[in-house]
Structure 1
Amino acid sequence: MSLRISRQHWQALLTELEDARRQRHLLTYRALIERLQLPSPAMQTLTAALEHLAALDARAERPLRSSLVISQGASRLPRTGYFECVVRLGRFAGPPDGTAAASWHASEVVRVFEFSYPEEP
């Protein structure tokens, strides 16, 4: 199944992530879905968009902006699918849970905070 995000929602996603980067804070999946007002299936659409953005960032050899989106649970980490995605992109090797994943994610968040992304066309 292929999911698409509207151009308006895509631009809003990039804006939300840039605002979070500048303010040096993380967003939950739920908060992002609500802010973007994504239609159903919202979580699947957001996940597909974040994975696409991760692939674009990886191809451009930039820190992964999708790292700024986390679960609202106690772990304060992205969902398992995020780690599966970064493994596919060759950015992380290891199990999607545990200290190695948490440590890698924390360092990637710092890299995102410190990177200046070019304006999107």
Structure 2
Amino acid sequence: MSLSISRQQWNALIEALDDVRRQRHLVTYRALLERLDLPAPAMRTLALALEHLAQLDAKAQRPLRSALVISQGASRLPRTGFFECAERLGCFSGPVDGLAAASWHASEVARVFEFDYPEGV
């Protein structure tokens, strides 16, 4: 499945992530979906958009902003697809669940909070 969202929807996603980054917060997939107007199936569209953003960030050697999006479950971590994507991009290696994933995620979130992203990217 390929990503198919408008420039306006893409910009809204970047703006939403920039907002939570500046506030040094994380956002759940559900809260982000409620904020954005994405085409159905919205969750799959969001996942593809976040993976695309991760690819762009990794290629530019930036911390992965998609790390700011977490599940609302008890783990407070991104879904396993995030870790699988990060592994494909060479940013993470190890089991996609457990202590190694949680530790890497915490480190990546700290890097995202500290990084100064170019505007509109």
Report if TM-score (shorter chain) is over 0.5: yes
Q: Output the amino acid matched with 1:103.
A: S
User: Are 2:112 and 1:112 equivalent residues in the alignment?
Assistant: yes
Structure 2: where are the runs of 5+ without partners?
A: none
1:24-103 equivalences under 5 Å are 24-103=24-103
**Please, what is the CA RMSD of the aligned residues?**
0.9
What are the superposed Cα offsets for residues 78-98 of structure 1, whole Å, 9 maximum, x if unpaired? 000000000000001001000
Q: Output the amino acid matched with 1:62.
A: R
| TM-score calculated relative to the size of structure 2 | 0.97
Please give the secondary structure, in 1, of the residue aligned with 2:73.
coil
Following superposition, the deviation at residue 60 of structure 1 comes to 0.4
Preserved CA contact (<8 Å) 1:94 1:100: yes
Preserved CA contact (<8 Å) 1:3 1:44: no
Preserved CA contact (<8 Å) 1:71 1:78: yes
Preserved CA contact (<8 Å) 1:26 1:68: yes
| TM-score calculated relative to the size of structure 1 | 0.97
Q: Following the alignment from structure 2 to structure 1, what is the Cα–Cα distance between the partners of residues 39 and 92?
A: 31
Following superposition, the deviation at residue 38 of structure 1 comes to 1.8
Following superposition, the deviation at residue 119 of structure 1 comes to 1.0
Structure 1: where are the runs of 5+ without partners?
A: none
Preserved CA contact (<8 Å) 2:5 2:39: no
Give the count of matched residue pairs: 121
Q: Following the alignment from structure 2 to structure 1, what is the Cα–Cα distance between the partners of residues 24 and 82?
A: 20
Q: Percent identity?
A: 75
Preserved CA contact (<8 Å) 1:33 1:42: yes
Following superposition, the deviation at residue 120 of structure 1 comes to 2.0
Q: Following the alignment from structure 2 to structure 1, what is the Cα–Cα distance between the partners of residues 20 and 68?
A: 8
- Runs (4+) of structure 1 exceeding 4 A deviation are none
